[in-house]
A and B are shown apart, each in its own frame.
Chain A
Amino acid sequence: MLFSSIPFLFYFLPAVLALYFLVPKNLKNAVLLLFSLVFYAWGEPVYVFLMIGTIALFFFCGVAIGKSKTQRGKKLWLTVSVVVSLTLLAIFKYADFLVGNVNSLLGTNIPLLELALPIGISFYTFQCLSYTIDVYRGNAQVQKNIVSFGAYVSLFPQLIAGPIVRYVDVARELDNRTHSWENIRLGLRRFLIGLGKKILIANQFGELTNLFRDSGEKSVVFYWIYAVAFALHIYFDFSGYSDMAIGLGRVFGFHFIENFNYPYLSRSVAEFWRRWHMSLGSWFRDYVYIPLGGNRVSRGRWVFNTLVVWMLTGLWHGAAWNFVLWGLLYAVCLLIEKFVPALQKLPDILRRGYTLLVVVLGFVLFNAADLAQAVSDIGGMFGFGNVPFVSPETLYFLRSYALLFAVALVGATPAVKQLAGRLEGKGIGLVLETVLILALLLVCTAYLVDGSFNPFLYFRF
């Protein structure tokens, strides 16, 4: 089920909120688990059983790790949880990629599995892995209540598009959290801001990128409009979803970690990844990069570690070579930034410009259907492929989307948040807040009712 849908906003959410706040404290996790399973089954009526199986697997592995007296026993159960979950992920997400490449390389004709990708499998698998690894490391207590554990894994606010909430970060709140009007106010405000980012900005740029793809009159300027529009689309789509997830979590008394911190203001690629999809970056850092030795190893080994982590980051986003190359692009940039310290002494404007260029080109690669399209799109941006510099169609879209670009570019900076911070708690601030959240609800509903374009990019991960 999509957050940005009428069934969620006016059927599911009111029902879950009403029941959740009506039942006594000891039943709240059960309500969350039940509704989360319905939420998942709404879009994945069959794969909900895969998720229930994953919950059971990690719950029992966690208990087994806790009960094991020996390090070997703990390691065995950790290995079981890691191997089984990664195997499932590999089967559903990567098998056809592997088979396709084997067929291409060896000329074989191994049939593809052609399984539909279970929504959010990458997110909930990584969340579960963080649980058994942290229990194994002694960083987290074993959860002995399967309802609470199930509620953690399936928690609908962040189930299908993150942030990747580690068990250790919400363990205390799973068993004991507070509910307040303040949490509801801040949570719903955050949710509606995220909904607005998604529906009013991301979806509009999503439409523009589709219009570009369908256009028969591409131009150099249109290629750039597409590239910038997609970068804004993916940012507002994903950060909007994270806002909604964090906001809903807050309503239910959870404090999820932040996932974005104005990444387009970064002055280096390294900084960009400290600000973009922070929960994924920190997951790979703590569960892959550091166990590989991090940077406390030889230079050659460190380069290897960096390449592995970023290749995996690319693959996490999708089973295709353009995702692998996208990850490796960042690895190369990070290595260059490390080996050429002079880059950090350049004026801020140049550093920001270079970072944005890498990010925008990276997203063109990311969004391409295949490598040929990526080459064609990037070539088009630089005038290759015999395209005109500009066309009447390009000018039309430039004019039509000019204001939206301006709104999005300002929205990608902390300016609005800073302004809101200055008004917070003041009378005018409260009035504006009320008007804003009511307007967001009504206008977002209006866009949904009119049946606009409405996919979530990160569902495919």
Chain B
Amino acid sequence: MKKNIGIFVLLVLWGALAVFAWVKPAGEASEAERRPLAQFPAVSGESLLSGQFVTDFEDYTLDQFPGRDLFRKLKALTHYNLFGQRDNNGIYIADGYAAKLDYPVRTEDVDHALTRLSYVYETFLKPAGSKVYTTVIPDKGYYLAEENGYPAMDYEELLRTFREKLPFGEFVDITDCLDYTDYYFTDTHWRQENLLPVAQKLSAAMGVTPPQKADFTQTKLDRPFYGVYYGQAALAMDPEDLYILESDLLDACQVYDFETDKYTPVYNLEKLSGKDPYDVFLSGAKSLLRLENLKAKTDRELLIFRDSFGSSLAPLLAQDYKTVTLVDIRYLDSRLLGNFLEFNGQDVLFAYSTSVLNSGTTLK
């Protein structure tokens, strides 16, 4: 009898998990993973025979398993601490910062991205006589990976290719303006409050007044921030603080959203309660925005072709520009740009992160 106590405990635990899995109401979304959870699939003769029901049901059981987040944490802990693995789901932690393994340089992806940017230049910018500036935003791995023994893409090769294939632009190297502490602990993005050196270098290159620390007030937002890597790594990491740089000038700015035909603030605090608080910067992922600087002293205009890193950078470049238009050709086909924008010789900045360039097929 004593021998079987363990098996009784096992059966009770196993049975309880099974019963819970059967009867637990399905959740709608995972906050940690920032995605909707699979729901019980529809049953039909076709879905059963094709195997689609089975696939969908398996997804449903994984997503809706009781204590899913706890089990994901247990897996991450076992993976890191018991088996000594150095990454979990491709996310590693170095010096307290979570970063993603992103290597090697995927030449085809990078070429695709640069081809799209060249197309934009040749089709719209060159005829309009725009002055083009380019920059590559390094991801956290640029500063963290090799120093901590993690494989990294050949960043120098990526930067060289970027410069060579976009010869029409004046390249501004911002890698010396940053280090890994300028990024969030749990997120892929950089901290706006640390971006002044970047904004200053870009502004100087573009011949506009560089922003100064004294121009801004650093405001802490009252929502704890768990970044995208927090959910992917599934490790117990502390939340961090989000700060925004406010100024009278930015207070007077408004942002026109071409998708919704509505104006929003530069810092959209409503987004703090959404799935990604980083969306507070220019309301997050948007195909086309125009930041209108009502206090601008010039009529100069700036067009930024950008990814999500641009959302926190753009407000810092607004000082001397009447408008800063942000274009994200991941969400807007570059062939259609002429339908929405007038090209009249604006200053242009191509600012793309290494991670987006290295998965460049997302650019349209």
Interface residues of chain A, those whose CB is within 8 Å of chain B, are 5-7, 9-11, 14, 42-43, 45-46, 181-182, 184-185, 188-189, 200, 204, 215-217, 392-393, 395-396, 399-404, 407, 425, 430, 433-434, 437-438, 441-443, 445-452
Residues of B within 8 A of A11 (CB): 18, 21-22, 61
Interface string of B240-252 (1 = CB under 8 A from A): 0000000000000
CB distance from A64 to the nearest CB of B (A): 33
10 nearest interchain CB pairs? A434-B6, A403-B84, A446-B75, A446-B74, A400-B86, A14-B18, A449-B71, A6-B61, A446-B71, A393-B151
- Would B4 and A181 count as touching, CB distance under 8 A? yes
CB distance from A435 to the nearest CB of B (A): 8
Q: Across the interface, name the chain A residue whose C-beta is closest to B4.
A: A181
Residues of A within 8 A of B48 (CB): 45
Indicate the member of B10, B51, B149 with the most A CB atoms within 10 Å. Answer: B10
- Would A6 and B65 count as touching, CB distance under 8 A? yes
Interface residue B49 (Cβ < 8 Å from any Cβ of A)? yes
- Using a Cβ–Cβ cut-off of 8 Å, how many residues does chain B contribute to the interface with A? 47
- Would B62 and A6 count as touching, CB distance under 8 A? yes
CB distance from B1 to the nearest CB of A (A): 9
Q: Across the interface, name the chain B residue whose C-beta is closest to A407.
A: B83
Interface residues of chain B, those whose CB is within 8 Å of chain A, are 2-7, 9-11, 13-15, 17-18, 21-22, 48-51, 54, 57-58, 61-62, 65, 68, 71-72, 74-76, 78, 83-87, 89, 103-104, 146, 149-152, 234
CB distance from B349 to the nearest CB of A (A): 31
Residues of A within 8 A of B75 (CB): 443, 446-447, 449-450, 452
Residues of A within 8 A of B150 (CB): 396
Q: Across the interface, name the chain A residue whose C-beta is closest to B151.
A: A393
Q: List 23 A-B contacts (CB under 8 A).
A: A5-B58, A6-B62, A6-B65, A10-B14, A10-B61, A45-B50, A217-B104, A392-B152, A400-B85, A402-B84, A433-B6, A434-B10, A438-B9, A442-B13, A443-B74, A443-B75, A445-B17, A446-B75, A446-B78, A449-B62, A449-B65, A449-B71, A450-B76
Distance between Cα atoms of A200 and B75 in the complex (Å): 10
The dominant DSSP class at the A interface is helix
- Would A450 and B71 count as touching, CB distance under 8 A? yes
CB distance from A52 to the nearest CB of B (A): 16
- Would A430 and B49 count as touching, CB distance under 8 A? no
Distance between Cα atoms of A445 and B18 in the complex (Å): 11
- Would A392 and B146 count as touching, CB distance under 8 A? yes
Distance between Cα atoms of A177 and B26 in the complex (Å): 41
Q: Across the interface, name the chain B residue whose C-beta is closest to A192.
A: B10
Distance between Cα atoms of A425 and B3 in the complex (Å): 8
Partner of B84 from the list A10, A46, A400 (CB cut-off 8 Å) is: A400
Distance between Cα atoms of A74 and B175 in the complex (Å): 82
* Sample of 4 further A-B pairs with CB below 8 A, known A10-B21, A45-B49: A6-B21, A10-B22, A395-B149, A446-B71
Residues of B within 8 A of A399 (CB): 86, 149
Known: A6-B21, A11-B22, A45-B48. A445 touches B71 (CB 8 A): yes
- Would A42 and B149 count as touching, CB distance under 8 A? no
CB distance from B16 to the nearest CB of A (A): 10
Known: A396-B150, A437-B10, A446-B75. A6 touches B83 (CB 8 A): no
